Structure formats: C-alpha cells, structure tokens
Chains A and B, each alone.
Chain A
Amino acid sequence: MLHQAWSEVRRHPGRFISTMLAIAISVAFLAGSSVLVATEAQAQGKAANLPIAMADLVVSTEEPVPGLTKVIAGVPGVAIASPSAASNEVVTNGAISQLLQLFVPPPEPLRWSKLTEGRWPTGADEIALSSAVSRALNVGIGQGVRVAGSDTQLTVVGLTDEPAGMFVKTGYTSIARLSQGGWTEDLTTEWAIKLAPDANIDQVLDAINAELATVAPKAKAELAQVVRDRQASRVAGELDAFNVVLWVGAAASVIVGMITIANTFTITLAQRRRQIGLLRAVGASAAQVRFRFLAEAALLGVIGSLIGVLAGIGIAVAITSWSSALYWGLALPWSRMALAFGIGVMVAVIAAIVPVMRGTKVAPVEALQPELSMDERKRAGVVRAIICGLLLVAGLGLAAFSVSRPDPNALLYAIGAATLISLGVLFGGPLFVPGLLRLVGRLVRRFGTVPLLAANNTERNPRRATATATALMLAVGLVVTMQVTTASIRASILGELEVRFPVDVQVAWTDADGNPTAVPEDVRTKLGTVPGVVDTVELPAGLAHLGSADDARLVTLLGAQPTVASVVGIPVSVSDQQVLVDPGTAKNLPSSIEVKGEAGTVKLQVVGSKVVTSDQAMVSAANLAKISKAAPAAVIWLSVPDRSQALNVLVGVNELAADQNRVTGSLVEASAYESLMNLLVAITTGLLGVAVVIALIGVSNTLGLSVLERTRESGLLRALGLQASSLRTMLTIEALEVAVVGVLVGTAAGAGFGWLAITALGRASDVQELSYAVDGPQTLGMLGIAVLAAALASYLPGRRAAKTAPTEALAEL
C-alpha cells in the first residue's frame, strides 16, 4: 500500500503540490518561529552579557574581594581569568547622543568581537565603537566624540564588527580611563575564565569552588553556558507577550492550514472517483481504499513537513541575519522542531480523514459511468444550524458576562467567548457563506458573460467555496482582532502616558537654599531651540506650605499660564478658587486647604492633577502673587512630541542646564513604552500575515483544482470562441468573490473580537478604561492586500486554464 501511495505521489506531483505547500508553510511557521525565538533570545542573552560571551566558566561575587583575580588565575587548568570592567556612558556628537556600555577589551580568547578597522583603545582619551554605533553617531576613526555633560573629548581609534543589540549598544574603553574614574581590579565582581586546552571543565569548576569556599565564601563559579542560558531565558521571559502572539499565530496557521488541506484533499479525491471505483471494481475493500489514501496523506505530511522544517530554518536564518542576531550564532531547538514536524504529519492525516471517509464511499459501478456530476447542491443540515446556534448563544452569553463587571479573569472569559463564537461562525459557514456568495454573485453577474460564468462557477460547489472562504475568514479575523487590540492598547497606553507623565521635560532653577530663582536668560532662549523640543512654557514659582499646621508640606508653588495645556498635552485649568496637587497628595488632604506663603495665605479647594509632582502645587497666577512675595520664572516645561528624540533632547537640555538635578521629566520612560508598543504591533501583524498567506494558497488551490475538473468546460469555452484572457479574467473574478466574502466576514468578526478583548482587558485591570481604536491605514491596507493577493492567487490556475487546448473538449474520457 505504501509503495502504491509513493508511486501515486511520484507520478502526479502536480496533484499533490498544493496540499504539500499548505503543510510546508504551516510547519515552516512553527519551526521557523521557534528557531527565530531561540536565536534571538540567545543573541540577546549574549549581547546583554558580553564579558562572558566567550568564557568557559564564570566567577561572580556579591561583594568585591581584593586579590581574588590572582587566586582564580592560580587554580590549575585556568588559562585566563579576566575581570569584567565596564561602565555606562552617554557619548555625543553634535545633536546625536548614544547610551553606550563601554568595556575594557579582554585578552584574545575571551574577546567577543573583532576589529574591522584601527586598534583597541589604550590611552585614557581613546575609545573604540561598534560599527553600528559609529554609524549612528556619524563618526569615524580619528574623529572625536564628547562624553555628555562634560568637556571630556575621546578620540575614536577603532571600529568593531558586533551588531547593536536590542537593549545594549557597545563601545570599548581602556583601563587607563576607567582608573581615572576610580576603578581598580579589586572592585571586580565578575570574572570570565578560559580553560587551558587540556583541562577538564568540571574538575576545574570544582577546584575553583573549593578554593573560593575558603578565601571568598560569597563568591562562586558556574559554567558560563549556564549563566548565558539563564540570561537568555530571562530575555525570552521578557518577551512573553511576544511568545503569546507567536503561539496564536502558530495555532492560526495550523488551523487555516488544516482547512486548506482538507479542502484540497476533498477535491483531489473527487477527481479520482473513477480511480477509486476502479480499485473497488477489481476487488479492493473500502477499508483498503481508505488506508491507501490515508497513507498518501501521511506521506504528503512527511514530505511537506520536511520541506517546512528546512524552509523554517532558512527563514529564521534570513530574519536573524537581517536583525543581526545571527552574529551570535544560530540556535536550533531540536525538540520544538521535532514537534513542528510531528504536528505537520498529524495535521495532514487528520485533515484527510473526513474527506477520505466521504470521498471513498464510491460504488464500483461509478468507475464505469462515462459522466460524473461535479456539482453538489446539498442543503446545510438542521443539526448544523442547531449546533452553531448553541455555540453562538453560549459565546455571546459568555461575552456579555465577561464585560458586565470588573473581574480579574475577564480576559479569559472573553477569549473563551471569542472561541465559541468563532467555532459557531466557522462551522456555520455552510449556512450563510453560500448566501453571501449568491449576493456578491448577483452584483457581479450584471457585468457581462464572463462575470456571469464566474459567478455561476463560484456557486456551483457551495461546500468547497465555503471552506475556502472560511479559511480566509479565520485568518483575516485573527489579524484584524490582533490589529484592533494592539491599536487600542497602543492608543490607550499613549493616552495614558500623556496623562500619567504629562510633562515631558522640566527644567527648574533654585538657589543654594532651595528657593526658586529665575532661569538665566540665555538658557531660557536656548531651550526652545534644542532639536526635538517644539514648545515651552515658563512658570513663575515660589515656596509655600499646604495647610497652616506646623507639619504642613512645603511645596514649590507654580503659577498657571494659559499655554500650559498645549505644552503638556492634557487639559489643565486652575480657577482662582483651586489649587492643583498630585492625586496621591490630594487623597490625604481635606477638600479645602490654606496655602501659606511669605506674602499671605489663601484658602483654596484641593484638586488632584497629574500635571504636578508630589513636591509641587499649582495655583492661578493671581493667587501666586498673593501668596508668594517674589515669583521668578524658575520652572520651564518642554514639549517633546517625537519620543524617539528622547536621548538627544535630554543630552541637549542637560548641557544647557549644566546640572542634572535641574532636569526632570517623563520623556525616557514614555519613549521606552512607545517603542515597545510599536514593535509589538509590527510583529503581531507580520506573524498573523502568515495565516493569511496560507488561506490565500487555499484560494489558489481550490481554483487550481476546479480548473483541473473543468478542463473540458474550459476547452468547450475556448472552442466556442472565448479568448484565453477572458478565461483568466473569469478565474480572477471567482477568486475575488470568495476573497471578498472571507475578508468581509473576517473583518467584521475581528472588529467585534477586538472590542471584546479591549473591553475585557479594561474590566480585568483597574488601570483605566481602554479606548477602542482602529489603525485605519494599517487595517485597510492589510485588507486591500488580502483582496489583491487573492486576485494574484488566481494567476497560476488562470494560466493553466488558458492553456487548455480547445480540442480537450472533444477528447475521449
């Protein structure tokens, strides 16, 4: 039986390519994403822990032990014990700044990067940069960079080849420079160790630990691999959200793949009815026939999965070399890859079971009938309607329940509800998809003979068209759900950032006693010209006590200005009866309070607002004049809407302020949040896009196989004078009809599920109400691409149909 299956696959590869492709892509997704995550995590683990990247062993200690370097180096088997020496510094060239982790290059076998140009730094005024950093700072060898906030100039003497990590950007410094900052070898807390060539790693490990136990009980040695893995898994753990998305994407691609495979199998079996009848006629039992076709499915699964695993590795290599994680080596998680392979084979067989059961119920006599009716016009069953109805009712009920009240588990309920509704919609496909197709067909038919033929073809096989549209529906639905959810979270978090950290950057001047003093004139004018700063507001300030008691809190009292709201980006209003304090302070104060300064006291209503910090309060300018004797313009708030400029702006402002204590603000936190959110949205869309691609392959498959079935018809049409180009147009219209239905239903469902997810997320967290948002251009763009791609998916089938010789219509069966 197996060799029969093999010869079938070998002789008619075309018949099986589409099935194999669907399996291969699903498996490639599973295998590729696990290789990708492992490689990225390994790279981040190494990049975040560079000094031990090449080490065999690592010694770390909680507190420095003088002379420990010599002790470790003295253990037999240790070739090199290199103390890790590093510092973090912001270096600047013009308006561009970079936060660098600067290392002292260790001896050769422990070095993780190579010089591409120049030499390693030795003098106190020298620095080497990784090429990526040198490009970002726009400096080359022989040019200078400045340490931010100081006059220290460093000359770039070397460039290295390692990529810029996601979290860490690297440069190299010298012992001489570190020593100037007070560093000595005795302050080391970590050593990278390289073994002598013939040393046994476990023996040396034990020897070092034995030695450490006596001289430095708080130090210990570990295998470097163990430390690196720990770091990698910590990074992977930080990418938890990423992992969830990955699994959703993988599950989606597997399910969509399964629908596509089942669909393809149904069609190939329909084409082979005569073959099946013949097998039965010559005495094969129904069970034998079934086994034969399942063996074929398994064989396809094995071949497809093998191709998929290889393709997955290839894709992961391509992506990691683009993201430069490949620099740190490819990680192949064998168990995950084996799992992907197994899933591929299983999916192929499972997807084939129903079509095989249905397709092999062929009476032997069918082999002898000259003509087969390809059309099926079965009515969808009542049982199906009842089951789908129950699923929908249960799903909608659970959805209503999940959003009805605050509950930490609301999101779980919502996911359950979405799953039930999805199942209802997907299994209910035969109940409503044919109707939708008829509706679309009615519109299409008016445009002439070719659209009429296309619309008829789409409707002639409702079950098949439904399955094809359903796969697309599922994929598009998931993508839209994720897009809406992430767009909403993104909008909400960005909104939240505005509310929580309304002041991007604050510059405040005080005298030695802490009294507000006017910001110097030249600083005031220059602040507005720092690149990235678009707006500023100067606030008069004085000191005041909140309350009249002895323990009344001393705050910097700010006088409101009309332009405050436009600078901080949230509404700010202070009437003459109000004082703004931060929300935490407001809770602990009475509803109205005396604000007491050197000039006088005013009783005001307490209002909570995030615009001020806990050591600030804000009153109207008129009140400030009544309370404070002098109110110099001591505080300036800056607006920096483009958060990617955060570091450059901070460095620029700090240099003007000349004292870091004068500069505060939320810009850096806000910029970190924002870039993370943007990354998540991009990754989500990319991953789920794969599911859409598989669904589109399904469209192409279905069409391609229909074309095979309709060879005679195509020939007849060509004989009667239909141009080849019209035949292609016909298939494009067929593809578009199915795609439009799938995309429309998927989008509607996705938008609904997105709302459900966001609302449930709001119910589950007490943060704040999340606002529903759709990224219009992104979502519309994705839908447009899906429809266009569906038209493209008709290209190959169309070409095949157009190639049909007219004589095929007359050929003997």
Chain B
Amino acid sequence: MTATVAVDHVVAAQALTKVYRSGEAAVHALDGVDLGFIRGSFAAIMGPSGSGKSTLMHCLAGLDRPTSGEVLIDGRQLSGLSDRELTRVRRDQVGFVFQAFNLLPTLTAEQNIMLPLELSGRRADPEVFAQLVDSLRLGDRLKHLPSQLSGGQQQRVAIARALIGRPSVVFADEPTGALDSRASQQLLDYLRHTSQVLGQTIVMVTHDPNAAAYADRTVLLSDGRVVDDLSAPTADTILATMKRWGS
C-alpha cells in the first residue's frame, strides 16, 4: 500500500512504526500504519490489549515519538520538531480527554477548563465559554474542585477543556472507561454532536464496541497493524469484525 495523504486530512500517519526494546527482544507496537482522518470526522480506534491502539494515539497526538514514519497535524510534520515546538503543537492544536486523572486536583473546574488557553496566553471567547459550559451543564459547578465533582462531571469538564481552544483534533483515550452507562451515553452523544454540528475532528481510543458505534468510522488494530476500517459501523458489525480477527 502506498502512503497517500488526502489534503483535507487533519491528522495523518505515514508508515508509522514504533519499536520498544527490552533487552534482546524488540516489540513492534506499531508496524507500518498508514491512516488519515478528515476534518469533522469522529473516528474510533479499536483493538485488543497490546494491539498498539494507545501507542498509535500517543504518536498521533505528539505525546510520543515514533521509531520511523511520519505524523502530520494540519499538514505539518511532527518529526524534527523540538520538544518546545512539539509542546506548543499539543497546546494549540490538540485537545485531550483521558480515562481518569484528567483534571488538576488543585484547580477549580473553571480553572481546569481555561488551563490550555492560560498556558498559551490566549483569552477565552466568553460566548464560546458560555456555550460550552451551558451545553455540558456545568454552570453551577465552575467553582468546585475536581474532588467535589462526580465522575461524569469531571469528564465533562475535561471535554470542555479539550474543546475550549478550538483545537484541530481532540484525542479521547477510553473516555467512558470510568463512567456508568448513562453518563457514558450522554458523553458519547455530546462528542458526536460536536463532530457533526461544530465540525470538530475527534479520534477516540476504546475497547467498547457500543462506544465505537457512536463514531462514523472504526479502525481496527491488531499486532500493530490496521486490519480493518469500517464506515458507519454498528455495535453488531464491530463485534462481528472483532470476532473475525480473533479478539
């Protein structure tokens, strides 16, 4: 397969490999991955434990450096960037939602949301902020510390933080992992809403077929390779595909 990257790909990987060495043994966490995500898409990356899905996300988001291959965000190559420049890319072009330990425990919900903007010295658009807070139903929780919030509320604060800077792409790592089913459903609805209505590109790593079904595309990873790429999947088609790949 030749690596072709469409111009409208917000995030793209070209022949991406990542090798971990432990003593004599070399583990290929990623083994030549080619992928592209177009603007406004909501993609899920799935795969069994050890399939390389977390590594893929880390490399795509500029959190980790690949052994070889190239990552592009908004057409800009990440290889060759200094740590300082890479940090700036994460700060200004990428948003993150993690499974847990999402928020800084010493900052209030509002301070947490504003953190990426504060770090880059930008001012928040009050309208955008109000809209976000309103749509995530956080209005009466802004002055609270994370320890005073429920798991669902914490995750909504994290989403507000990821979206406030209007990043090129939001990466979500098992965002529903620590939530009950109702809170999970609300969260995934909201993510789909932002991609469809606001045109926000979202890449979500998950092992839950039901969560992946909210996405409009599911990439299946196994042993560090892309083994399948489903469009508009349902939970059932995903499950069937996963069974085929033996997980």
Contact = CB atoms under 8 A, between A and B. Distances in A.
Interface in B67-121: 83-84, 87-88, 90-92, 96, 98-102, 104-107, 111, 115-116, 118-120
Contacts of B34: none
Contacts of B185: none
A572 interface: no
Given A719-B63, A809-B98, A449 B104 contact: no
A716 interface: yes
B64 interface: yes
B90 A720 contact: yes
A307 interface: no
A111 to B, nearest CB: 65
B62 to A, nearest CB: 8
B64 A716 contact: no
B119 A456 contact: no
A456 B106 contact: yes
Given A457-B106, A720-B91, A807 B64 contact: yes
B63 A716 contact: no
Interface string A687-714: 0000000000000000000000000110
B173 interface: yes
Interface in A710-754: 712-713, 716-724, 726
Contacts of B141: none
Contacts of B119: 449, 720-722, 726
Interface residues of B, number: 31
B58 interface: yes
A456 B107 contact: yes
A721 to B, nearest CB: 2
A375 interface: yes
Nearest to B93: A721
A723 B116 contact: no
Nearest to B118: A449
Interface in A447-485: 448-449, 452-453, 456-457, 459-460
A716 B102 contact: yes
A807 B106 contact: no
B115 A449 contact: yes
A355 interface: no
A712 B101 contact: yes
A453 B104 contact: yes
Contact of A718 (B87, B106, B107, B116): B87
Interface string A546-585: 0000000000000000000000000000000000000000
Contacts of A94: none
A661 interface: no
B188 to A, nearest CB: 19
B54 interface: yes
B113 to A, nearest CB: 11
A662 to B, nearest CB: 79
Nearest to B55: A807
B102 A806 contact: no
A807 B56 CA distance: 12
Contacts of A712: 101
B186 interface: no
Contact of A720 (B54, B96, B105, B147): B96
Nearest to A724: B83
Contact of B63 (A449, A460, A807): A807
Contacts of B90: 718-721, 806
A805 interface: yes
Contacts of A724: 83-84, 87
A370 B100 contact: yes
B44 to A, nearest CB: 17
Given A457-B106, A810-B54, A721 B101 contact: no
A13 B242 CA distance: 45
A588 interface: no
Contacts of B92: 721
Contacts of A718: 87, 90
A721 B100 contact: no
A373 interface: yes
A375 B147 contact: yes
A373 B147 CA distance: 9
B87 A721 contact: yes
A719 B102 CA distance: 11
A188 to B, nearest CB: 80
A522 interface: no
Interface in A102-155: none
B116 A721 contact: yes
A321 B90 CA distance: 57
Given A375-B105, A453-B104, A721 B64 contact: no
30 contacts: A370-B100, A373-B147, A374-B105, A375-B105, A375-B147, A449-B119, A453-B106, A460-B106, A713-B104, A713-B105, A716-B98, A716-B101, A716-B102, A718-B87, A719-B63, A719-B90, A720-B96, A721-B88, A721-B116, A722-B91, A723-B84, A724-B84, A724-B87, A726-B119, A805-B63, A806-B90, A807-B58, A807-B64, A810-B54, A810-B173
Interface of A: 370-371, 373-375, 448-449, 452-453, 456-457, 459-460, 712-713, 716-724, 726, 805-807, 809-810
Question: Which 6 A-B pairs have CB atoms at the shortest separation, nearest pair first?
Answer: A721-B91, A456-B106, A449-B118, A806-B63, A721-B90, A712-B101
Given A449-B115, A452-B107, A726-B119, 8 more contacts: A371-B100, A718-B87, A720-B91, A720-B96, A721-B90, A723-B87, A806-B63, A810-B99
